[in-house]
């Protein structure tokens, strides 16, 4: 498939370098190009493996290729991509390239929110089963580890749990998960998709485009966009496995599904009901809110579809302590709980965090906006937020949306936001860091932003 082929890698971050190393190992002649300076680690890896590359721009060398691997963060309208399209050069994602060599079964997970939590749960559930059955489970993709860096370690019978963003799915052509999961589709990335929810949704739907009749497609029946899509007049090749809060309504959509039954999370497999876990047993300080019930239901449906046993699923749910940077409890200082929700990079994630946080709170928000209408949260902010501290490119938009609702304080940095929130918060309240925006105005990614927030909290405590 790749032996003897020339491949240009556009973008030299983690996934681009991983794809370059994999494709070279599989016999391709690889060239790496980035519009920005290469990091020391990336430069060292290329040099050690004898892979030529360039930085601070794309030369004509890029176009001397049979196909390209394009990093997900590169917008589709930049000059290099337009020229590749004009010349008819095929472009694929790193996920697509990795899938060509993957011997393991694949559970692919996408959606606007809940991807990482669901993927983490599925990996734990299937991992518990793996310990009994003699195979391994790998977590890859948008969760932080490039798929390409792991496929060489996989064997037949293993499971790859791959978290997928819409950006990663855009350039997938043959990628086919044995089990596909769509957690929800909400307003997000409208800057990338020119304000079109339908374009954004179509990118997500690519997750099941190549599935076969024996494959499973798990989807959120409570999400209006998904419900209308999958219960409309269209015909779908894989078996549909819905999950939702209402067992009667969800059960009418499929013979296998996951739902709430009173206080219990339940799974129904070909009409046979299984009681999985109670809400009381599930919810902890780091795992609360209706959105996490949905994430748990999605993970249960996907893991059962993949063959994980009930005891493995239940043990994973009981042992789950949340995901870093997603409504992560940091510590309590003088009676004030501090919560790190840096992964909330859109309005819906911010809404979920507000809903899940009990009592009154000081909210720290801001970053680079995505074209969302912040005023949609007006009533919730009025009800729950005592002070709103905002920073970053979007701080004036937050102020314009909420100045008549709550006291809004604009600051220059995250560090200043934390210091001001400390002065404003009273014992019994929570300081919730849930930006509702991307991190790219000030930080490399949401992980760096969340780590900085926790560093600021440690300094306060000390």
* Residue-range domain boundaries for the chain: 6-92, 96-319, 328-461
Whether residue 234 is predicted with pLDDT greater than 90 in this model: the reply is: no
* Average confidence (pLDDT) over 135-144: 93
Torsion of CA 89, 95, 98, 102, to 10 degrees: -130
| Residues with Cβ within 8 Å of residue 182, at least 6 apart in sequence | 110, 111, 204, 205, 207, 217, 218, 219, 220, 226
- Out of 78-92, 188-202, 206-220, 427-441, least confident range: 188-202
Tell me the backbone φ, ψ of residue 179, rounded to 5 degrees: -130, 125
Given its phi and psi angles, is residue 437 left (phi above 0), alpha (psi -120 to 50 degrees) or beta? Answer: beta
pLDDT given for residue 190 in this prediction: 60
Domain boundaries 6-92, corresponding CATH code: 3.40.50.720
From residue 120, how far is each of 156, 182, 298, 406 by CA, in Å? 21, 15, 11, 36
pLDDT given for residue 131 in this prediction: 85
- CATH domain 96-319 topology: 3.40.1190
To the nearest whole percent, how much of the chain has pLDDT over 70? 97
- Contact criterion met (CB below 8 Å) for 22 and 150: no
Name the band, by pLDDT with cuts 50, 70 and 90, for residue 37. very high
Domain boundaries 328-461, corresponding CATH code: 3.90.190.20
Structure confidence by residue, pLDDT tens digits, 319-366: 887 788 888 889 999 999 999 999 999 888 899 899 888 889 999 999
pLDDT given for residue 191 in this prediction: 63
Whether residue 193 is predicted with pLDDT greater than 70 in this model: the reply is: no
- Contact criterion met (CB below 8 Å) for 285 and 330: no
Name the band, by pLDDT with cuts 50, 70 and 90, for residue 8. very high
Whether residue 195 is predicted with pLDDT greater than 80 in this model: the reply is: no
pLDDT given for residue 233 in this prediction: 65
Structure confidence by residue, pLDDT tens digits, 370-383: 877 888 899 999 99
Whether residue 285 is predicted with pLDDT greater than 60 in this model: the reply is: no
Q: At what angle do helices 14-25 and 40-48 cross, to 10 degrees?
A: 0
Radius of gyration of the chain (CA): 23
Q: What is the pTM of this model?
A: 0.84
What is the overall mean pLDDT for the chain?
A: 92
Nearest-CA neighbor of 122 among 306, 311, 341?
A: 306
Q: In what order do the strands lie in the sheet with 179-182?
A: 137-141, 159-163, 105-110, 179-182, 216-220, 239-244, 257-261, 264-269, 272-278
pLDDT given for residue 374 in this prediction: 86
pLDDT given for residue 395 in this prediction: 94
């Amino acid at each position: 498939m790749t032996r003897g082929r020339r491949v240009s890698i556009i973008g030299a971050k983690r996934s681009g370098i991983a794809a370059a190393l994999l494709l070279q190992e599989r016999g391709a002649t690889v060239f790496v190009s980035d519009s920005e300076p290469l990091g020391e680690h990336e430069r060292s890896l290329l040099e050690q493996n004898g892979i030529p590359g360039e930085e601070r721009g794309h030369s004509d060398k890029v176009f001397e290729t049979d196909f390209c691997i394009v990093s997900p963060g590169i917008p589709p309208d930049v000059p290099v991509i337009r020229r590749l399209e004009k010349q008819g050069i095929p472009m694929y994602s790193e996920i697509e390239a990795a899938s060509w060599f993957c011997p393991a079964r694949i559970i692919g997970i996408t959606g606007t929110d809940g991807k990482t939590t669901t993927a983490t749960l599925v990996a734990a559930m299937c991992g518990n089963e793996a310990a009994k059955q003699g195979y391994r489970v790998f977590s890859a993709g948008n969760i932080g580890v490039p798929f390409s860096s792991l496929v060489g370690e996989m064997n037949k019978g293993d499971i790859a749990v791959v978290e997928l963003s819409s950006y990663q799915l855009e350039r997938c052509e043959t990628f086919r998960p044995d089990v596909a999961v769509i957690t929800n589709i909400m307003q997000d990335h409208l800057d990338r998709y020119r304000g079109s929810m339908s374009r954004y949704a179509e990118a997500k739907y690519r997750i099941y485009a190549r599935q076969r009749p024996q494959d499973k497609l798990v989807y959120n029946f409570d999400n209006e966009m998904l419900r209308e899509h999958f219960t409309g007049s269209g015909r779908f090749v894989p078996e549909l496995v819905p999950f939702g809060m209402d067992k009667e309504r969800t059960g009418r959509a499929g013979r296998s599904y996951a739902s709430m039954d009173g206080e219990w999370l339940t799974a129904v497999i070909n009409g046979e009901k299984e009681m999985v876990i109670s809400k009381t047993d599930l919810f902890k300080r780091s795992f609360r809110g209706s959105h996490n019930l949905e994430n748990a239901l999605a993970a249960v449906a996907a893991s059962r579809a993949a063959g994980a046993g009930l005891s493995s699923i239940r043990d994973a749910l009981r042992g789950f302590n949340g995901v870093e940077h997603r409504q992560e409890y940091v510590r309590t200082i003088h009676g004030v709980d501090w919560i790190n929700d840096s992964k909330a990079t859109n309005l819906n994630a911010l809404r979920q965090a507000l809903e899940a946080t009990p009592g009154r709170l000081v909210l720290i928000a801001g970053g680079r906006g995505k074209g969302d209408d912040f005023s949609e949260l007006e009533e919730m902010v009025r009800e729950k937020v005592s002070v709103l501290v905002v920073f970053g490119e979007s701080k004036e938009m937050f102020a314009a949306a909420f100045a008549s609702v709550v006291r809004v304080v604009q600051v220059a940095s995250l560090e200043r936001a934390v210091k001001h929130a400390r002065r404003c918060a009273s014992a019994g309240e929570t300081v919730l860091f849930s930006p509702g925006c991307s991190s790219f105005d000030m930080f490399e990614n949401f992980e760096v932003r969340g780590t900085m927030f926790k560093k600021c909290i440690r300094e306060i405590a000390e």
